[in-house]
A and B are shown apart, each in its own frame.
Chain A
């Protein structure tokens, strides 16, 4: 009898451990991009000789053919950068990371964009339309979160992106010294239509006491103009 109970206890606890596999780190928090890396030195997001411009005639022609005056005219629109640029900005707008069992959700203040990184092994649904943030799946390798993103909306803004664009990220927490725990984001950008080879970008994020996410809605200036009864098209950057 006692042996049977002991066996049952062992059995149920093994079952329990298999069901309850917590993530190795918790990335939840409000993270502000920083140019100062964990060693206290300034860091570069991109490598020195970045093949951002199309290097081949075909690439250049494709870029020009895909130019979209609505999306690609930076001074006119306030639309998401989308992946990958969304994660590489240094402008002082934070990103909130919310980690739950089956996914990691990132809310990027500039411009109130939401990324979902699925951890539950799901595949990209057939026929899923390309989106600014793409479709991301992730898994843990020791303390590092490895993310693969495809299905990014093609276009020319803020840099040329094709339907073949694939972004791989490795995210981990690192000791930032006086800046506290930092988040390191290393990214490999692979788009054979626009770049001769995949290249690596890196960004760092840190936390501040009391830093909260704000509200950033892109059409607020137009809304204000309209609400205040100001007619005409006059907003200089629109």
Chain B
């Protein structure tokens, strides 16, 4: 934990609105704070991988229709340093996710904050992942 906290403190200095990723394009996401959206739904797929991770979540609308959303995160190796594990998410988990939306694709976001099934919260903006 000490290592994680140290890393977190240093990366706080580095934080920008965009993720401190490698070369992969995240230019398609709107990182303005005001643009953030929040969804609640059920995880259907969890890819804990390099170079990017992603979560697929089924969101049920008021009319009962189900829409699949895709939420992106940084690399597995980086997330793992901040406490994420393969078991952090699984299909069936009820989650709340706040993210930066894709400019063009309405159901795609870059993860900013997640409330896991067990109620624990993880924020990205403190450590710019």
The reply to whether A110 and B22 form a contact with Cβ atoms under 8 Å apart is yes
- Taking CB atoms and an 8 Å cut-off, the chain B residues in 79-129 that contact chain A are 80-81, 108
6 extra A-B contacts, CB within 8 A, seeds A90-B20, A211-B3, A237-B51: A74-B23, A111-B51, A218-B51, A223-B49, A224-B47, A236-B70
Tell me the complex Cα distance, A111–B50, Å.
9
Within 8 Å of chain A (Cβ to Cβ): is B7? yes
Indicate which residue in A42, A91, A217 contacts B22 across the interface (CB closer than 8 Å). A91
Tell me the complex Cα distance, A98–B49, Å.
27
Q: Which residues of B have CB within 8 Å of A154?
A: none
Within 8 Å of chain B (Cβ to Cβ): is A93? yes
Q: Which residues of B have CB within 8 Å of A177?
A: none
Q: Which residues of A have CB within 8 Å of B22?
A: 78, 81, 89, 91, 93, 110-111
Q: Which residues of B have CB within 8 Å of A93?
A: 22, 77-78
Known A208-B7, A220-B49; contact A90-B14, beta-carbon cutoff 8 A: yes
Indicate which residue in A36, A209, A216 contacts B2 across the interface (CB closer than 8 Å). A209
- List the interface of chain B (C-beta within 8 A of A): 2-3, 6-7, 10-11, 13-14, 20-25, 45, 47, 49-54, 70, 72, 75-78, 80-81, 108
- List the interface of chain A (C-beta within 8 A of B): 32, 34-36, 42, 74-75, 78, 81, 89-93, 109-111, 157-158, 208-211, 214-218, 220-221, 223-225, 228, 230, 236-237
Q: Which residues of B have CB within 8 Å of A32?
A: 7
Which of B14, B77, B78, B108 has its CB near the most chain A CB atoms (within 10 A)? B77
The reply to whether A237 and B6 form a contact with Cβ atoms under 8 Å apart is no
Tell me the complex Cα distance, A214–B84, Å.
13
Tell me the complex Cα distance, A215–B13, Å.
26
Q: Which residues of A have CB within 8 Å of B78?
A: 92-93
Q: Which residues of B have CB within 8 Å of A221?
A: 47, 49-53
The reply to whether A237 and B52 form a contact with Cβ atoms under 8 Å apart is yes
Tell me the complex Cα distance, A214–B51, Å.
12
Question: What are 23 residue pairs bridging A and B, where the CB atoms are less than 8 Å apart in the complex?
Answer: A34-B10, A36-B10, A74-B24, A75-B24, A89-B22, A90-B14, A92-B7, A93-B22, A93-B77, A110-B22, A111-B50, A208-B6, A209-B6, A210-B3, A214-B80, A216-B51, A220-B76, A221-B47, A221-B49, A221-B53, A223-B49, A228-B45, A236-B54
